[in-house]
Amino acid sequence: MVYDVGVVGLGPAGVSALKALEGTGLRVLALEKEPAFPRKKPCAGGLTPKAYEILKRLFPDVDSVVRKRVNRFLLYYGERSTELLSEEILTYLTQRDELDAFLFSSLDHSQFDLHLGETALTVEKDIDSVVLHTTKDRYRVRVLLVASGVNSRIARQLGVKRDIGYTYESDVESDREELIIDFTDFGWGYYWAFPKGDVVTTGLGEFRDRRVMLNLRGLLAKFNRKHGFSERRRWSSGFPIPAGRKKNDVYRPFVLFLGDAGGLVDPVTGEGIYYAVKSGVVAAGVVKRFFLSGEESKLKEYETAINSLLGEEFHWARIVGRLFFSLKGLNFSVISRSQVVARLTADLLSGRISYRDSFFAYLRHLPGALIGR
């Protein structure tokens, strides 16, 4: 069978690309290895305002799967704590299985050949297309969008370079309301507790420190005890998470890598849903231009676009991350003592201000914050 476009993986990246391809008349094959939605994907389900807004533009009914809107974060470092309070929403909280099932059901299924329960295995390059081998068949596609997440087989086969960190997460039964971020214990990472009504998703992620990575489960139990979360777990699991770079390796001839498959995750906060959706939209735009012109060079523009739109931000995120994590105690004191820096931190964590702008604003406010202004 021959298709114009193949999409592998129907998480936020794949589904957003499909949404943006609706109405183009292109012949599209979409594959998902899971046999049905909802399906589980380890994720805290936090949407920053920018993630919520891009989703809302593509999927106007997204509010139907928002469980909570939060304008207060409780931050911890050891026994110290402080609060970030904002007049605006800092995070929208969803359950990932509900979010993804909603996104999938919002597609116009009549426009695509949707194959659930079919796993993509390998790709083979041909002169002007690729051949995709799956657990059920083989397909020739002109352009392949690989959106199969951090464990993508095709990304591994084609040697896509990504930095990988590790997480461990659980859903504990609790009706607690507060959103907690705790920086104790990490080289480059944090614990979280995201309330969803009947459950709280608690977890931790670490990008650098091997000792933390080897004890994720034990550390999460420690965090749950510290903050009084019950041992009644509905679910728990470890899972890798990529960290975005200045130059992201997201293109091979006729193959584009989206979302986690391309490593497109904020290297400080671990936010990935926004970048998955954004890369899906950018990929769809590139695909449309490719079919208008027929020139392969149009496809390569995907990598340039991703690196200028997202790579620059990941670059500054790494600079801010180094500054923050290497002087955590000092930075925590500054956030606790200075309202201006606390507001800046809230704006940064909610994605309202870029890492670059926050870096210069922080340097500007640091002297005042250190003397208690």
Ligand X SMILES: Cc1cc2nc3c(=O)[nH]c(=O)nc-3n(C[C@H](O)[C@H](O)[C@H](O)COP(=O)(O)OP(=O)(O)OC[C@H]3O[C@@H](n4cnc5c(N)ncnc54)[C@H](O)[C@@H]3O)c2cc1C
Applying CB under 6 A, which residues contact ligand X? 8-14, 31-34, 41-46, 51, 119-120, 147-149, 153, 167, 169, 203, 239, 241, 259-261, 265, 270-274, 276
Smallest separation, CB 5 to ligand X (Å): 15
Nearer to ligand X, 39 or 356 (CB): 39
Cβ-closest position to ligand X:
272
Q: In angstroms, give the least distance from the CB of 368 to ligand X.
A: 32
In the complex with ligand X, which residue's Cβ is closer, 46 or 321?
Answer: 46
Cβ–Cβ < 8 Å for 121, 135: yes
φ, ψ (nearest 5 deg) of residue 327: -130, 50
User: Of the candidates 365, 143, 132, which has an alpha carbon nearest to the alpha carbon of residue 253?
Assistant: 143
Nearest CA to 64 out of 44, 107, 40, 94 is that of 94
Least Cβ distance, residue 147 to ligand X (angstroms): 5
Helices (H), 139-214: 153-157, 210-213
Question: With respect to ligand X, which residue has the nearer C-beta, 353 or 361?
Answer: 353
CB closer to ligand X, 133 vs 364? 133
For ligand X, the closer CB: 260 or 313 = 260
Q: What 3 state SS string does 10-79 have?
A: CCHHHHHHHHHHCCCCCCEEEEECCCCCCCCCCCCCEECHHHHHHHHHHCCCHHHHCCEEECEEEEEECC
Which segments of 150-236 does DSSP mark as H helices, in order? 153-157, 210-213, 216-226
To ligand X, the closest distance from the beta carbon of 362 in angstroms equals 23
User: Which CB atom, from 14 or from 189, has the smaller least distance to ligand X?
Assistant: 14
Please state the closest distance from residue 120 (CB atom) to ligand X, in A: 4
CB of 60 to ligand X, least distance (A): 20
Handedness of CA 244, 9, 155, 20 (dihedral sign): negative
Which of 156, 319, 333, 347 is CA-nearest to residue 252? 156
